[in-house]
Chain A
């Protein structure tokens, strides 16, 4: 029976080709625009590390100005840490795994004298960084605890930098000059690009990961520059790098891994305790306001999903609504036009259910066609977004299989929903009404 209905549906679509095209196009446009914005929003709000996003916590302590909260509206604590707090918390080692970090950069002088020196971004971190965030390695490993403590000049490279400097060879054990110092390569990462780049969203939530990784304390040792946001509520006391590190300026981030809720509670208690200690030393003038946010909470708090993207998604849903209303109207007109045929089918013995099924197949067919074209349009739309916004959205504008299925389902469900009322109306045409003239 299904194939009979399908044949009827095709026939019916061919009978009013323009009208059918209009309906398919309406659904395709609605689905296309919705899928485009859903994709962008879905990827922006995706869980970048689903296997442990609820065990990784971003650390915030309130070290801010006694006269002004860090954020007037939300009363959130500062979104980064001072050097003092980052190093104190790291030394306390109260979590099973933890890493403070910062963004920096420096000039790489390639081994090959012919290659030009170039600038590269640096992530200063502790060795737990790699295990906490499941960073894949192509060659070698993370550096050791000792390297962290002794401030050894060791580095981990991204695959791209290893390709650039060492031609893609296994460079573990070789040395490389950066920021005027010689480093020993201990590891080369495989391709890795969490989206969003959750571990440091306030320096570009969808930026590329840094190119070179080295022990955190080298910041002090080598006086590496601050990249990324630096925010101070009072100026450093005195000149020079030391004064900056000892200041109340925030430029550092910290993540801890806390497998259980008990661990989290313990760590929070530790932070509160730490804040009290600092108060005794004359710091932390504000009321106690420390916070641990897991990955998704942190993304939410930092509003990683751009307002424009959310706004576009709302608009595109409204767009879809218009397209569906359009389809309902056209289906209604179409099915009303078929009332003679429906009356006849009823007269020769088709039940309401039969007719309902027949017309539902017809609307379903329109929906599937619209969905397929809509997916095509979504691909086009995503290309458009890429060309409008530039490279930074490359990671945000690609359809995966889940999205394709979501798109087709959305098209099918919405078109059938759109067809429900017209179908119901059509099936309720009394067979006798057709016999009365007019």
Chain B
């Protein structure tokens, strides 16, 4: 363009200031691009669906105490009561809740024997209402029949002979055949105990949102004879908040031999489980914004100074025939050159930091297109920041040239 050569040579005589801004831009770009990448990643993670009807589902725990407490009759009575409640779509007893942070996992394998590796899977013990209450869809095979449901005693090591798996789990277990073919096949739990796949459901997440196998889940047809247990209740749309206190009160008063506690909506579970991620997103966003402002103000400050220092020079240029536009362009171009050095350096640093983060924190490598976008954004930030001082430079009167100091 117009005068890159002389601008560049003039810059080289004032290296330090230019280099400072370039480094500043480079580090800013490094932080911003890596932050944006992390934000996008975490946002994607947070956007994943649990499979539940999240807006209309809540859960509550019941802990029995005292000698007379009978877990089996309590569960039966509770479920009958809950399912009869107007506004309740369905209710089940369940051992753990998706995306809640705590639960059971087991390994499933396609061949029996301790020498074979299992695939990790989250275990949900539910009865035949599980499909409806969890709002999942059987996409192959069929739901459990009432006769499939057994009672699990506390600390029983045995398993029922049927299982329903998520599609993701099936695909992990049988990577080489179409997932729908898995219905009827046998998988082994506890190394050797066979379970026949009776159905496949579309989607249900594990309790641990940070787990690599978060999409792996199984439904086991059983109710639990435990003193401490949980119910999951799915309501009709809009009924949840009305029903929650009602359910709590109903369960508490129906049986005095237990404590009712830990009533929470799935939305709260989600909020808790992703709190770290959402906090990180907010913090990173704040850091990015502040950093951009700091860098931009730094550019404004230095550019203002350099304009002031060069008033005479600018006047002279004007006297020698530079139009206002030419002066404006001069400063914009100067900043463009500095930014260019900065963003090129920044591209390297960005990749470097990403590699470091990948190695240290097991993050994913960054997609390549973040780099050019980041460069473009910082170029723009520089141009916007320098525009004000450049405008002021362009406004310097040509007559400044003839003023003696």
Q: Does B399 contact A (CB under 8 A)?
A: no
Q: Is B259 within 8 A of A107, CB to CB?
A: yes
Q: Does A119 contact B (CB under 8 A)?
A: yes
Beyond A106-B65, A315-B287, A330-B298, whether A308 also contacts B190 by CB under 8 A is no
CB of B65 to closest CB in A, whole Å? 4
Name the contact of B305 in the complex, choosing from A68, A318, A337 (C-beta under 8 A): A337
Q: Does A118 contact B (CB under 8 A)?
A: yes
Name the contact of A308 in the complex, choosing from B117, B276, B298 (C-beta under 8 A): B276
Q: Give the complex CA separation of A25 and B298 in angstroms.
A: 11
Q: Does B301 contact A (CB under 8 A)?
A: yes
Q: Which residues of A contact B31 (CB under 8 A)?
A: 315, 318-319, 322
How large, as a class, is the contact surface on chain A?
35 or more
Beyond A67-B115, A109-B65, A117-B65, whether A326 also contacts B298 by CB under 8 A is yes
Q: Is A322 within 8 A of B155, CB to CB?
A: no
CB of B219 to closest CB in A, whole Å? 19
Beyond A33-B287, A239-B155, whether A315 also contacts B35 by CB under 8 A is yes
Q: Give the complex CA separation of A420 and B233 in angstroms.
A: 66
Q: Is B153 within 8 A of A225, CB to CB?
A: no
Interface 1/0s, chain B 264-288, versus A by CB < 8 A?
0000000010011011101110010
Q: Does B302 contact A (CB under 8 A)?
A: yes
| Secondary structure call for the B interface | helix
Q: Give the complex CA separation of A3 and B246 in angstroms.
A: 73
Q: Which residues of A contact B67 (CB under 8 A)?
A: 180
Q: Does B21 contact A (CB under 8 A)?
A: yes
Q: Is B283 within 8 A of A312, CB to CB?
A: yes
Residue with the highest number of chain B CB atoms closer than 10 Å, among A66, A68, A319, A333: A333
Q: Give the complex CA separation of A321 and B28 in angstroms.
A: 10
Q: Which of A321-336 contact B (CB under 8 A)?
A: 321-323, 325-326, 328-330, 332-334, 336
Q: Does A390 contact B (CB under 8 A)?
A: yes
Interface residue stretch chosen among A208-216, A229-237, A262-270, A360-368: A229-237
Interface 1/0s, chain B 285-312, versus A by CB < 8 A?
0010011001101100110011011001
Q: Does A2 contact B (CB under 8 A)?
A: no
Name the contact of A119 in the complex, choosing from B261, B306, B308 (C-beta under 8 A): B261
Q: Is A329 within 8 A of B28, CB to CB?
A: no
Q: Which residues of A contact B117 (CB under 8 A)?
A: 67-68
Q: Give the complex CA separation of A310 and B154 in angstroms.
A: 41
Name the contact of B361 in the complex, choosing from A109, A238, A311 (C-beta under 8 A): A311
Q: Give the complex CA separation of A318 and B32 in angstroms.
A: 11
Q: Does A4 contact B (CB under 8 A)?
A: no
Q: Does B1 contact A (CB under 8 A)?
A: no
Q: Does A132 contact B (CB under 8 A)?
A: no
Residue with the highest number of chain A CB atoms closer than 10 Å, among B24, B156, B290, B298: B298
Q: Does B27 contact A (CB under 8 A)?
A: yes
Q: Give the complex CA separation of A325 and B308 in angstroms.
A: 21
Beyond A22-B297, A107-B65, whether A236 also contacts B279 by CB under 8 A is no
CB of A378 to closest CB in B, whole Å? 14
Q: Is B259 within 8 A of A118, CB to CB?
A: yes
Q: Does A410 contact B (CB under 8 A)?
A: no
Q: Is A308 within 8 A of B294, CB to CB?
A: no
Q: Is A329 within 8 A of B308, CB to CB?
A: no
Q: Which residues of A contact B308 (CB under 8 A)?
A: 337
Q: Does B5 contact A (CB under 8 A)?
A: no
The residue in chain A whose Cβ has the minimal distance to the Cβ of B286 is A384
Interface 1/0s, chain B 132-167, versus A by CB < 8 A?
000000000000000000000111110000000000
Q: Does A19 contact B (CB under 8 A)?
A: yes
Q: Does A369 contact B (CB under 8 A)?
A: no
CB of B393 to closest CB in A, whole Å? 15
Beyond A333-B302, A337-B308, whether A107 also contacts B63 by CB under 8 A is yes
Additional 20 contacts, C-beta under 8 A, given A22-B297, A107-B65: A22-B298, A29-B294, A106-B65, A117-B65, A118-B259, A225-B228, A235-B190, A239-B156, A240-B155, A308-B276, A315-B287, A319-B287, A319-B290, A326-B24, A326-B298, A330-B301, A336-B309, A337-B305, A385-B283, A389-B275
Residues of A in contact with B (beta carbons under 8 Å apart): 18-19, 22, 25-26, 29, 33, 65-68, 106-107, 109, 116-119, 179-180, 225, 234-241, 243-244, 306-308, 310-312, 315-316, 318-319, 321-323, 325-326, 328-330, 332-334, 336-337, 384-385, 388-390, 421, 425, 437-438
The 10 A-B residue pairs whose C-beta atoms are closest, nearest first, are: A333-B305, A388-B279, A326-B298, A107-B65, A329-B20, A235-B157, A325-B24, A235-B190, A307-B361, A244-B155
Residues of B in contact with A (beta carbons under 8 Å apart): 16-17, 20-21, 23-24, 27-28, 30-31, 34-35, 63, 65-67, 114-115, 117, 153-157, 190-191, 228, 259, 261, 272, 275-276, 278-280, 282-284, 287, 290-291, 294-295, 297-298, 301-302, 305-306, 308-309, 312, 357, 360-361, 405
Query: Could you list 21 A-B pairs, sorted by A, with CB under 8 Å?
Result: A68-B117, A106-B65, A107-B259, A117-B65, A119-B63, A236-B155, A241-B154, A241-B155, A310-B360, A311-B357, A321-B27, A322-B291, A322-B294, A322-B295, A329-B302, A330-B302, A336-B305, A337-B305, A388-B275, A389-B279, A390-B275
